[in-house]
Amino acid sequence: MQPHQRFRNTGADATLTRPTHATKSLPDPVTHQGSQGDPATAVGYDKAQHDDDDENDVDDDDDEDNSEDENEEFPLDEPIKDALTSALDDSFNFSGTYALMKNYPLAPNPGLVVENIDPIGLPLAPSEAVRLRAVCKRAPFGKGERTIVDTDVRDTWELDPSQFKFANPAWDQWLRDIPPSSPPRAELYKLLLYEVGSHFLPHQDTEKVPGMFATVIVVLPSEFAGGQVHVTHGSQGKVFDAAIGSAFSTTVLSWYTDVMHEVKPITGGHRLALSYNIIHTATSIRPSLPEADGPIQELRRLKGTDAAKATHLRDICDELGFRVYLGSLQYRVSGQAENDCGYDYYSRRKRNRYAYDDYDDEQDIDDIDMGEILETSCTVQLIAGPGGQLVGSEQSLNMEEELMAPEDVFEDMVPDDKEYEGYQGNYGGTLDHFYRRTVLLIFPDSQHVSVVKSLGGTAAAVASLRASSSLLATKEEQGLAEIALQAKSKSAGRAVADAALRWKDPYLFLRASNSCNAGSDIKVLGSSRIEQAYDVFGFKFIGSLISNILTHSASNHARLGLIDALVGHASRADDTLPDEWFDTQRAKVLSTLKKPDIDDIQPLALSIWTYFGTPFLRETVLPQLTAYSCSADWWKTFMSALHSARANQSLDWVEPLLSSAKFKHHLYALTNNSARFMFIDDIEKSAPPNSPVSEWCLKHRGRLLPKLRVIPFLAEFWGPFLVAVIRPGNGMDCLYEGCSQDVLSALKDPLEIALEHSTTNQQRFSLLGCIEKATAGQLHFQNYIAERRKWALHHLLPPQTCADEITRIVTAVQGDASYEPILLARLSSFLCPLPFWTALIKAFHPHASHSCPRLSDSLQRLLQQFVQLAITQADIAPAPKSTTTSTHQSYHGTRTAAPPTPPVFITIRSLLALCVETHNAPSARLVFEKVFIQTTKQSHIVHTLVPITQHVNNFMDIHKLAHDMAPFDEFYRRTIGSYINLVLGPKPQSTPSEWKGGRSPCSCTDCHDVNRLVAKNHNEFTWRAAQYRRSHVEEKLRGQPGLTMSTVRHGSPHGLQVTKSASYTALAIWQSRSKTGGQLLRSIGNNDVLRSIWSSQPGGIEAISQQLVGNAAAPVAAASSSGSRVCHSGQPAAQTATRLSNVLAPLPIQRAEVPPAVVPQKRKAATQIAFIDLTD
């Protein structure tokens, strides 16, 4: 059947009208609808010859006579066309909405004054609310002819207008200004007080006074929470929340009287509101609100008068038994192109109102005219649903027979789109014009199902049903349900089922279930929907459906879960429910199991033990599971679930399950022996202890034991395996007599291969630790582990500074002193880094004091040897020349960075710490000896030995050690002696001004002459020569210490003036070094400490002090013992200094020649050497 024939069979004839888009405000506070943009066009169907049929049944077995009546054509007479055109002309100007809410932050305070109460302040305080409630009464509501109070329905306090007034004159004026200037009048009705829990169930306002057509609620400033207002009109709904900003704002809500609305409970605070009746006072027709079901949802996108026309047309059609739908019409005119200049481009060009498409013709499509019309077509796309969904596919329409419009209606109109097809071969160019309009499709109620269905409108019906929240089915919704049922899809069936539950229609629910084949699987409707249907309709209506679902559903756990859920709903009396029905269904499910999955295990186990028992499991359940060939993992999990659900009870079920699971078949299907043992372990973990499963596992482990020799060692397998097989306390000590020895024999080869191939000590000791832990208490295993541990120590790999490796080495050695020499000898063969020694010693050290006394001395000696090895292997090299502090620019300014500490100082501090913290302080002598061996040059003393002294001082202070304790006292003596011998030297006497600064490194004649001048005893000289010679000399002298140059430009030739710094004379340098030596000595300690350190040396600290200041003197002790006189200060200092140096620091030095003997003089009293206080 062609589309236009379909419309004709429903009695179609049409005309077209073009209403304007004029808009105008209404007197009540409403908002405009959305716009689709184009004027509305009407497509009509005659109702005159059809009876009003409330039934929308379109079953195939309809009465034949009725079918003939429906197919009879009734032309739409011209007066009806004229009437519709007149009704939709430009004089129509209504627009509006059924409810709204608006906030007024600047509304005036009404100045509320209640009789016998002081003025009520706003925002409403809790104390004010309590006072106000004392004079209020419970608000009633109308029920039939009576007015009653029922707080379950309406829990609100009210006050009549006669009991209060407004003191602020601005309030009435503001209220009058809310609606536009128009006839409606606002009449104060009640003052309403809501407290926590106050509510009002869904209801419609009654006409309290003549002319009332709407209600306005003014919420005064009062802080509260909750109390949302839900308004519905047909299938439309809105939610107004006035609690937001309620403390300091006035909110106005309004709706028509026939709008259903509900006040949700107040959850906090108090809400104070004024209720006004809106009364129509003019002589015109009172404002009314049309129904909002069906296609009115789609008209939301229209604007102003177009939206209002569609709304009221829908209202009128509803009263007269017609249906209205929105549609999108496209009219296409195709013809020959004129004025296209004969271009022979094979191109297609298009231009529409929004954009230009790509084309390659230079001619503008607007210049091409329509010539002879070859073809016209008209299509319409039905639109429905709250989101404007497309219903079905686009359908062709006959302009002459089905549109309320003349054929030439588009003749003088500008097309919305154009398409041009250029010349192609022997064919001329063609031009297409497109006209698009929004239309209204009108047809009788009796044809609703057939028309919408023929347009493929089931999707729209389903969408509308889902959007609906009505508790009673309207005629519109009944039709939508009939349309949706025709889809026979799951989504449509669910939508109708949900509607049937809301409408409490069991027959419609069953029809919905049948339409989507809900009895085939529980997933179709879902468990929750079935439970709800059971609660609403009872077993009488849906018992058969539940039986079908339980029989055919593919999920075992879903079937059992539905039974358990329905049992919980069966507590209410239901005389139609047979006794033991649920038990019968549960047994039926377990007797007809589907292919099980992992989610079935827990429900199966619980159902078996709760309602049946071992015989039912053995005879009914297990044969089915065996037939399904479940996986081994499934069986293991099922066994574990059965055990958990029946803990501490008989194990008579284990053996039948073990036989049904066929674990042996799964075991030997594995191709990897390690996997086989792990499989056995998993079975044993899943089974109850001391059950037949344990015997089965032990038996099959024994069969696999000889094959273990060729399996690469795997700790994850051997650890649990050894625990299960040979460790006491597992219920069966051994597989058989001698099993433990056989297991050890099987273990040796793979373990020793694994040890040899290990790349770290950590891996080796970890493997041994795993076996040792698993075989605790087994003597032959422990002896073997001890033997392998000794082998691992003998073959110790280069150690790593890894905490886990060091811990395992310590654990391996601990407790057996025979391991210590092996470890020490092996470590001596490696050059281990200091961090390793530090970590090893710290790991051993705690055991030295907490172990048994027999091991303490042994461990202490071991620690001493470790410390000495660490010192021996430590790298102690002279520190490089110290750098000055560096500066760098950054975003935050100039920063100064201290030079990094040389590694040698860090090494020395670490070694000294090891010595002291392990109570091996004497071993520090080895550290100092290595230092002195490396510091034999003057630069070594300055850059290494002197800084080390300060580090040693700090170390002693941190550890609270006396500076004069051995061997640190010896370090201080040798350090000062080395400084005096190699750095300070004798004080210059004969030539104190001898130049010690820089010279030219060049050996040319000019540089030789200048160097000779530099060596002379004067502070400044001028050397004259030609410029190129001066430049050469100046370049060589630049940067040399103590020299500055400038050019003398008077005289000829010009001269180079060289100035020598006085700081670079021999005496100045010696004095600077003497000062540094004194500071070094003072840093060691006070006078008492220094005397103690040098008490064993000839002359004591006094001799050292004299040498540092350049006074040569013999040691006091030597002088007194030999009877020699004391040398005077005039005696050469080098001789005395040399003798003292030889005592303090026996290092090779260049001795000074001894001067001739002094002429004897008269003996005087021995001169006492004055001690210089060096401690400041």
The distance of Cα 656 from the centroid of its chain, to the nearest Å, equals 49
The answer to whether 380 and 453 are in contact (CB under 8 A) is no
Q: Is the model's pLDDT at 119 over the cut of 70?
A: yes
Q: What is the pLDDT of residue 453?
A: 67
For 861, the 3-state DSSP assignment is helix
pLDDT (tens digit per residue) in 899-908: 788 888 899 9
Q: What is the pLDDT of residue 299?
A: 40
Q: What is the pLDDT of residue 1169?
A: 33
Q: What range defines the domain where residue 572 resides? A: 517-594
Among candidate residues 536, 492, 532, the one with its CA nearest the CA of residue 515: 492
- pLDDT band, very low/low/confident/very high, at 1121 (cuts 50, 70, 90): very low
Tell me how far apart the alpha carbons of residues 841 and 830 are, in angstroms, rounded to a whole number.
16
- pLDDT band, very low/low/confident/very high, at 252 (cuts 50, 70, 90): very high
- pLDDT band, very low/low/confident/very high, at 254 (cuts 50, 70, 90): very high
Tell me how far apart the alpha carbons of residues 980 and 974 are, in angstroms, rounded to a whole number.
10
Note whether 940 and 1033 are same-domain residues: no
Q: What is the pLDDT of residue 890?
A: 53
The answer to whether 242 and 227 are in contact (CB under 8 A) is yes
Q: Is the model's pLDDT at 222 over the cut of 80?
A: yes
For 88, the 3-state DSSP assignment is coil
- pLDDT band, very low/low/confident/very high, at 844 (cuts 50, 70, 90): confident
Q: What is the pLDDT of residue 393?
A: 66
Q: What is the pLDDT of residue 61?
A: 39
| Cβ neighbours for 351, distance < 8 A, ≥ 6 positions apart | 357, 365, 366, 417, 418
- pLDDT band, very low/low/confident/very high, at 146 (cuts 50, 70, 90): confident
Which of the listed residues 594, 622, 645 is the one where a domain comes to its end?
594
The partner residues of 441 in beta bridges, in order of sequence, read: 43, 325
How much of the chain exceeds pLDDT 70, in percent?
72
Range in 78-82, 157-161, 466-470 the model is least confident about: 78-82
Which of the listed residues 279, 305, 331 is the one where a domain comes to its end?
279
Q: Is the model's pLDDT at 444 over the cut of 70?
A: yes
Across residues 1085-1109, what is the average pLDDT?
A: 89
Note whether 322 and 384 are same-domain residues: yes
Note whether 867 and 805 are same-domain residues: yes
pLDDT (tens digit per residue) in 986-1017: 887 655 566 777 888 998 988 988 888 887 77
Q: Is the model's pLDDT at 1134 over the cut of 80?
A: no
1021: domain CATH number? 3.30.1370.50
Q: Is the model's pLDDT at 62 over the cut of 50?
A: no
Domain assignment present for 73: no
Across residues 493-511, what is the average pLDDT?
A: 93
Across residues 138-162, what is the average pLDDT?
A: 87
Burial profile 256-283: b = 16 or more Cβ within 10 angstroms, e = fewer: bbbbbbebbebeebbbbbbbbbbbbeee
The distance of Cα 1130 from the centroid of its chain, to the nearest Å, equals 87
Tell me how far apart the alpha carbons of residues 613 and 626 are, in angstroms, rounded to a whole number.
18
Q: What is the pLDDT of residue 183?
A: 58
Tell me how far apart the alpha carbons of residues 454 and 461 are, in angstroms, rounded to a whole number.
13
Across residues 892-919, what is the average pLDDT?
A: 81
The answer to whether 307 and 322 are in contact (CB under 8 A) is no
Range in 17-21, 65-69, 72-76 the model is least confident about: 17-21
- pLDDT band, very low/low/confident/very high, at 1142 (cuts 50, 70, 90): very low
Q: What is the pLDDT of residue 137?
A: 92
Domain assignment present for 420: yes
Domain assignment present for 897: no
Q: Is the model's pLDDT at 12 over the cut of 80?
A: no
The angle at the Cα of 122, spanning 120 to 124, to the nearest 5 degrees, equals: 80
Relative to beta strand 1020-1024, strand 893-897 is unpaired
Q: Is the model's pLDDT at 90 over the cut of 70?
A: no
Tokens linked to 282: 């003019």
The distance of Cα 464 from the centroid of its chain, to the nearest Å, equals 38
Across residues 556-569, what is the average pLDDT?
A: 87
pLDDT (tens digit per residue) in 696-745: 876 776 666 667 777 788 888 888 888 877 765 544 445 555 677 878 88
Note whether 926 and 860 are same-domain residues: no
Tell me how far apart the alpha carbons of residues 472 and 469 are, in angstroms, rounded to a whole number.
9
Range in 557-571, 603-617, 1136-1150 the model is least confident about: 1136-1150
Q: What is the pLDDT of residue 499?
A: 93
Tell me how far apart the alpha carbons of residues 380 and 394 are, in angstroms, rounded to a whole number.
6
The answer to whether 487 and 449 are in contact (CB under 8 A) is no
Q: How many other CB atoms sit within 10 Å of the CB of residue 151?
A: 12
Domain assignment present for 648: yes
Domain assignment present for 667: yes
- pLDDT band, very low/low/confident/very high, at 306 (cuts 50, 70, 90): low
Q: Is the model's pLDDT at 549 over the cut of 70?
A: yes
Note whether 674 and 738 are same-domain residues: no
Note whether 264 and 296 are same-domain residues: no
Q: Is the model's pLDDT at 40 over the cut of 60?
A: no
Q: What is the pLDDT of residue 404?
A: 72
Q: What is the pLDDT of residue 25?
A: 30
Strand extents, DSSP E, 970-1039: 1020-1024
Instruction: Give the type of residue at 197.
Output: G
Range in 130-139, 318-327, 885-894 the model is least confident about: 885-894
The partner residues of 143 in beta bridges, in order of sequence, read: 146
pLDDT (tens digit per residue) in 660-702: 888 777 877 776 666 777 787 788 778 787 778 777 876 776 6
Note whether 758 and 806 are same-domain residues: no
Q: What is the pLDDT of residue 727?
A: 60
Across residues 316-327, what is the average pLDDT?
A: 74
pTM: 0.39
Q: What is the pLDDT of residue 813?
A: 79
DSSP string, 195-259: -TT--EEEE-----STTEEEEEEEE-S--EEE-PEEEEETTEEEEE-TTTTGGG-EEEEEEETTS
Q: What is the pLDDT of residue 46?
A: 37
Q: How many structural domains compose the chain?
A: 9
pLDDT (tens digit per residue) in 265-301: 999 999 999 999 888 775 555 566 654 443 334 444 4
Q: What is the pLDDT of residue 737?
A: 57
Q: Is the model's pLDDT at 38 over the cut of 50?
A: no
Cα→Cα distances 982→377, 514, 720, 788, 941, Å: 117, 112, 70, 57, 8
Among candidate residues 353, 367, 391, 606, the one with its CA nearest the CA of residue 480: 391
Q: Is the model's pLDDT at 644 over the cut of 80?
A: yes
Q: What is the pLDDT of residue 949?
A: 92
- pLDDT band, very low/low/confident/very high, at 513 (cuts 50, 70, 90): very high
Q: What is the pLDDT of residue 545?
A: 92
Domain assignment present for 81: no
Note whether 104 and 181 are same-domain residues: yes
Range in 303-312, 349-358, 1006-1015 the model is least confident about: 349-358
Residues comprising the chain, all counted: 1176
Q: Is the model's pLDDT at 4 over the cut of 90?
A: no
Note whether 131 and 248 are same-domain residues: yes
Q: What is the pLDDT of residue 975?
A: 93
Note whether 983 and 1080 are same-domain residues: yes
Q: Is the model's pLDDT at 302 over the cut of 60?
A: no
Higher pLDDT, 778 or 849: 778
Please tell me which of 39-43, 171-175, 455-459, 1002-1006 the model is most confident about, judged by mean pLDDT: 1002-1006
Mutual angle of helices 475-485 and 506-515, in 10-degree steps: 30
Domain assignment present for 4: no
Domain assignment present for 93: no
Instruction: Give the type of residue at 305.
Output: T
Residue 649 region, left (φ>0) first, then alpha (ψ -120 to 50), else beta? beta
| Cβ neighbours for 544, distance < 8 A, ≥ 6 positions apart | none
Tell me how far apart the alpha carbons of residues 750 and 739 are, in angstroms, rounded to a whole number.
18
Q: What is the pLDDT of residue 958?
A: 92
Q: What is the pLDDT of residue 689?
A: 77
Note whether 159 and 239 are same-domain residues: yes
pLDDT (tens digit per residue) in 1051-1082: 889 998 888 776 666 777 788 888 899 999 99
Q: What is the pLDDT of residue 41?
A: 38
Among candidate residues 412, 408, 411, 392, the one with its CA nearest the CA of residue 400: 408
Tokens 């409810």 sit on residue: 99
Please provide the average confidence, as pLDDT, over all residues in the chain.
Answer: 75
Tell me how far apart the alpha carbons of residues 526 and 505 are, in angstroms, rounded to a whole number.
19
Note whether 508 and 544 are same-domain residues: no
Q: What is the pLDDT of residue 774?
A: 86
